[in-house]
Structure 1
Amino acid sequence: MDKTNKNHSIRCTVTSCENHNMSENYCALDTVNIGTHEPHPSESKCVDCESFVAKSKCSC
């Protein structure tokens, strides 16, 4: 995946995500999956970006 890509339709400020654009607050993916961990979400904190992948901490 090209992390320099920025999808202007998906704004993102989660810089700890592997899919975050390297220079601006956009997602580098073409699409994302949004889900929930609640049966009937009523607040934004109950909704999750299921495309999130934690950045590797290895500087290899």
Structure 2
Amino acid sequence: MNQTPNNSIKCSVSNCAHHCQGQNYCTLNEIKVGCCEPNATKCASTECASFQLGNH
């Protein structure tokens, strides 16, 4: 699994399979951001759709 941090994608979700352990960055080249609600009006209405549960 890639453990090279993508310095353009900050992330503090340490239980994600794509989290660069020891650093608060994602290891993916790009992420997909999705909505939890039809009309997002606040941060809580969005999510990282690239999240995968890791086994850290």
Q: Same fold (TM over 0.5)?
A: yes
Aligned equivalents of 1:15 and 1:50: distance in 2? Answer: 15
In the alignment, structure 2 segments of 5+ residues that lack a partner are: none
User: Which digits, 9 at most, give the CA deviation of each residue in 1:14-56, with x for residues without a partner?
Assistant: 0010100012000000000001021101110110000000113
- Report the counterpart of residue 2 of structure 2 in structure 1: 2
Aligned length in residues: 56
C-alpha separation in 2, matches of 1:34 and 1:40: 14
**Partner of residue 47, structure 2:** 48
Which segments of 5 or more consecutive residues in structure 1 lack a partner in the other structure? Answer: none
TM-score normalised by length of structure 2: 0.91
Letter in 1 for 2:38: P
Structure 1 runs, 4 residues or longer, greater than 4 Å off: none
What percentage of aligned pairs have identical amino acids?
Answer: 32
**Normalized against structure 1, the TM-score is what?**
0.86
Once superposed, what is the RMSD of the aligned Cα atoms?
A: 1.2
Tell me the residue number matched to 1:14.
13
Higher-Rg structure is 1
